[in-house]
Amino acid sequence: MNRAIVEGSALAVLALTVAVVWFRARHAARPESDGGYTTREEIEFEIGRLQSEVYRWLTTTNHRDIGLLYIAFGTIAGLWGGVDAMMLRTELLTPPADIWTPETYNALFTTHGLTMLIFFVLPVFFGVGNYVLPLLIGADDMAFPRVNAIGFWLLPPALLLARMGLLVQVGGQVLSLFLPDESIQFFLTIREVSIGWTLYAPLSVQQPNPQIDLLLLGLHLSGIATTVGAINFIVTVVYERGDDVTWANLDIFSWNMLVTSGIALFAFPLLGSALVMLLLDRNLATTFFATEGGGAILWQHLFWFWGHPEVYILFLPATGLMSTILPKFVGRKLFGYQFIVYSTLGLAVLSFGVWAHHMFTTSVDPRVKASFMAISIAIAVPSAIKVFNWITTMWDGDIQLSAPFILCAGSIGTFIVGGVTGVFLAVIPIDILYHGTYYVVGHFHLIVVGIIPFMMIAASYYWYPLITGRWYDTRLAKFQSVLLIFGSVVTFMTLLIIGGVGLPRRQAIYPPEYQLAQQIATVGAYVIGLSALLWLYNMLVSYWRGAVVQTTDPWKLKATNQFTKEWQWFEERMVEKYDLEPATPDSTRRSYAPELEPMGLLGGVGSVAENVYRNASAAAAGGFVGTVLMAGGLGTAIVVDVLDPVSFGEIAEPVGLPADPLFGAALFLVGGTVTWPLLFLAFQEYLPGRYLFETGTVFATLISTGFAIAFYTGQQGLVLLGYLGFVLVAHWAYGLGLAVTFQFLQSRRRKRRRAEE
Amino acid sequence: MSESADDGSVLFTYVAPFLGVLLVAVGIGGAVPGGYAIAQEQIGGCGEPSIAVEGPEETSQRFATSQPQLARFQFAELSPAERAAFREGLADARGEAHVEGSFPNGPAFRNGSLVTYEGERHYVTVVSENPCFQAAPLQFPLGLFAIGLGVVGILTPPLYRKLVALERSVEA
């Protein structure tokens, strides 16, 4: 199939559909006042209005306008890169390269990667930052409004330069219908770059396609735009904060944008240098990356010194949005604000120390690789801190099942899987196995799709009332959110699996036994594509037809004291423009615990340390009593010969002890005294039972199934029945002992407290 | 109108459009390749491998340091289709051309070979097989049907709301 014609047509149809949807929605929202036909004067007026609008948008320096321009640009680039993705997934429906040629397939995954990373994600986050960051910190505008405008307006030419291959190809094919080939050689020579988004030397130096040079110039221009934008964000956060905004209470999204900009400031100039060196190698015969006189590996070092921090440049704003949006929909303040800030700063520093984990299969010195392995594993820690804090923020919260929340919850899940699979890749021996397989593709897509666009869309829903003064279609939004999560999980989990069994990535042709898995992944990708279109439809149509926001507090944030600065700005605006009464909630409560005080698992208040000590000591006492009671039941089982003591020896082996029943029994006592009681404390709230002893019995029944499997030594018939009976009864004794001891300790503590009062 | 619990049917508000989207996605996967299988005969180029022909300078550069065992041909030894493709490749801006017809030296070209033409050596290799796409005859119509049915599924929520409104207005 002809890629240029297909992709060009697809993009044209998409653009046309968007225009039709927009104007139809607008027309339906604003019928003629007299119900009649549009007159010539009205058309002239409309054209004049259009001219002034175009002039305004081209010359604006207002941070909110520029934010919207960034978002619109990023969305267009995202759709373009998305069409690439749909096309490359279509190729993979069949094992041979019989839909596109291998070279076209290579070009598709190259342009998909570059467009999504450089022209979609960063502009959208800079757009969100531009719109809300000054509102969040109480600034009038960005520090350098005109520089801000320049930073944006460098991007469209950069995108055109980078993606000119497609435009020129389409142009060439149209021109070849009318002109002889000799006269349009240029149009027939240029084609989309097909060397992978990482542009590895020596291929990137030697391939004659002139589009590579234009791409390098486009990337360089986008790098300048990013650096300019980053400087603006840094200066804005440092110097433009309102009087009441200090470093200690600066909101978490602004912190993330500040740190992201800091990373960009260090990373992007280096990318610029590397791109210039590559341009010189290609055009002026320098030998920076030549095998003789330079080194192809040098390109990888320079590229990834930008490329890995770039991953965090894309990821950190998404975490900032998560930390901002999630608390609003669970009615609780963000847990561990300081730790989130420190983890963001930690990620920024560490992100510059892990670049060579992309190069574990190269000839880099193994000792150097080992240090990169250590830092790559360590970088999981700050990411995990964020995840734990998000989960803790949700814990016991008052969940509001809206589209932004669905996306937040989905993001946490996909990010955990994406992150954990990354920890495996950080380990050199495993990376050597999985390098260049679909496992890597699955891993990074679970992050770059599984949290970044999720959070963009969550933010678009969350701030839609603020930006437009209207509501989006909430049902459609929830549906779209679920669809996006479903499509992502299906697609990228499938890629993880086929990569896990060794299918190489970046191959148009693959063995037939992988066809079903590839088809499942492709259908999942189409679902993602359709969900993106539903989001776009919702955004465009709701702008004209969404229900008008009738309150100054659309998300009822005042009720949990989370009515943040951007919404205060919104309220002021609504009061000024429409004379609305500021919303007053029926009731308010503090936003970190419904009970107003942090509760211990066994009741009682106090510091975290006090609660931990109290829980651990009660658990140990209860666990010991329970285990002793249980030992009676199990001992009887051994005596009547339905339980084999050898099985106790077997559990000692995995922890490195000799396979001796005595060691096993001691280990069993430790587990029963420490591990299971703490688990019981953690889960008792969620187990059935009105009283603690009922809950204890349920818990004991559940864990008895694990015991029955672990200690089974081939019993048959009646012996098996006896074994199961004794196991169950012994566990009930354990559960009752545990629960009754807890109750006893609690009542004693209550009595003591009363006596003190 | 903040996000509140939906009044109405979960089945028609969420489940039906979800199944609809799945049907559309599967339908696209069937209809696009199925349609391409039908259209490729008109488009042409399928079943005709592409060869890349390198100029004499590039060829000498390629083999400046090593001399791999490659098949060597005089231009006259090639079949008419191979000769035509070779000439077309030389003239082409990207140095590529389809072999339209019999391709007896295909296996040698796939490994890369050297063709001597007008006294100069040219490295020639197959860069793409361009196999014809095979699809079941029903794939395209069934794919279209699935897309259509899926669209109906996606449009179920507003249709459902309209029907409910209609019934309520009749009752009123």
- What are the tens digits of pLDDT across the range A173-215? 888 888 887 788 888 888 899 999 999 999 999 988 899 999 9
pLDDT above 50 (res A594): no
Q: Is B90 on the interface with A (CB under 8 A)?
A: no
Residue of A nearest to B88 (CA): A181
Q: At what angle do helices A145-153 and A63-91 cross, to 10 degrees?
A: 20
Contacts of A292 in chain B (CB under 8 A): none
Of B4, B18, B93, nearest to A185 by CB-CB distance is: B93
Q: What is the pLDDT of residues A153-170, one digit of tens each?
A: 999 999 999 999 998 888
| Number of neighbouring beta carbons within 10 Å of residue A142 | 26
Contacts of B94 in chain A (CB under 8 A): 188-189, 191
Q: Is A475 on the interface with B (CB under 8 A)?
A: yes
Is the previous residue joined to A202 through a cis bond, with omega within 30 degrees of 0?
yes
Report the C-alpha gap between A264 and A115 in whole angstroms.
18
Of A98, A478, A523, nearest to B26 by CB-CB distance is: A523
Instruction: Kindly report the nearest CA distance between residue B26 and chain A, in angstroms.
Output: 6
Per-residue model confidence (pLDDT) at position A600: 47
Q: What are phi and psi of B100, to 5 degrees?
A: -100, 90
Instruction: Kindly report the nearest CA distance between residue A287 and chain B, in angstroms.
Output: 17
Q: How many residue pairs bridge chain A and chain B with CB atoms within 8 Å of each other?
A: 93
**DSSP characters for A113-169?**
HHIIIIIIIHHHHHHHHHHHHHHHHT-SS-S-HHHHHHHHHTHHHHHHHHTHHHHHH
pLDDT above 50 (res A634): yes
Residue of B nearest to A90 (CA): B29
Q: Which of A98, A491, A533, A556 best tests the B interface by mutation, with the highest count of B CBs <10 A?
A: A98
Q: Is A471 on the interface with B (CB under 8 A)?
A: yes
Residues of chain B with pLDDT under 70: 1-8, 171-172
Query: Which residues of chain A from 522 to 561 reach within 8 Å of chain B, CB to CB?
Result: 522-524, 526-527, 530-531, 547, 550, 554-556
Per-residue model confidence (pLDDT) at position A595: 46
Per-residue model confidence (pLDDT) at position A30: 66
User: Which two tokens mark A497?
Assistant: 């699996």
Of A96, A99, A555, nearest to B2 by CB-CB distance is: A555
Of A96, A475, A479, nearest to B131 by CB-CB distance is: A96
Q: Is B93 on the interface with A (CB under 8 A)?
A: yes
Of A103, A191, A403, nearest to B128 by CB-CB distance is: A103
pLDDT above 90 (res A18): yes
Per-residue model confidence (pLDDT) at position A408: 97
Q: Which of A94, A185, A522, A526 best tests the B interface by mutation, with the highest count of B CBs <10 A?
A: A526
Contact indicator for A197, A110 with CB cutoff of 8 Å:
yes
Contacts of B1 in chain A (CB under 8 A): 471, 474, 547, 550
Calculate mean pLDDT across residues A270-294: 93
Per-residue burial over A368-403, b = 16 or more CB atoms within 10 Å of its CB, e = otherwise: ebeebbebbbebbebbebbbebbeebbeebeebebb
Q: What is the pLDDT of residues A69-121, one digit of tens each?
A: 999 999 999 999 999 999 999 999 999 998 999 999 999 999 999 999 999 99
Q: What is the pLDDT of residues A357-387, one digit of tens each?
A: 999 999 899 999 999 999 999 999 999 999 9
Q: Is A683 on the interface with B (CB under 8 A)?
A: no
Per-residue model confidence (pLDDT) at position A464: 97
Q: Is A507 on the interface with B (CB under 8 A)?
A: no
Whether B93 and A181 lie within 8 Å, measured CB to CB? yes
- At position B69, the amino acid (one-letter code) is Q
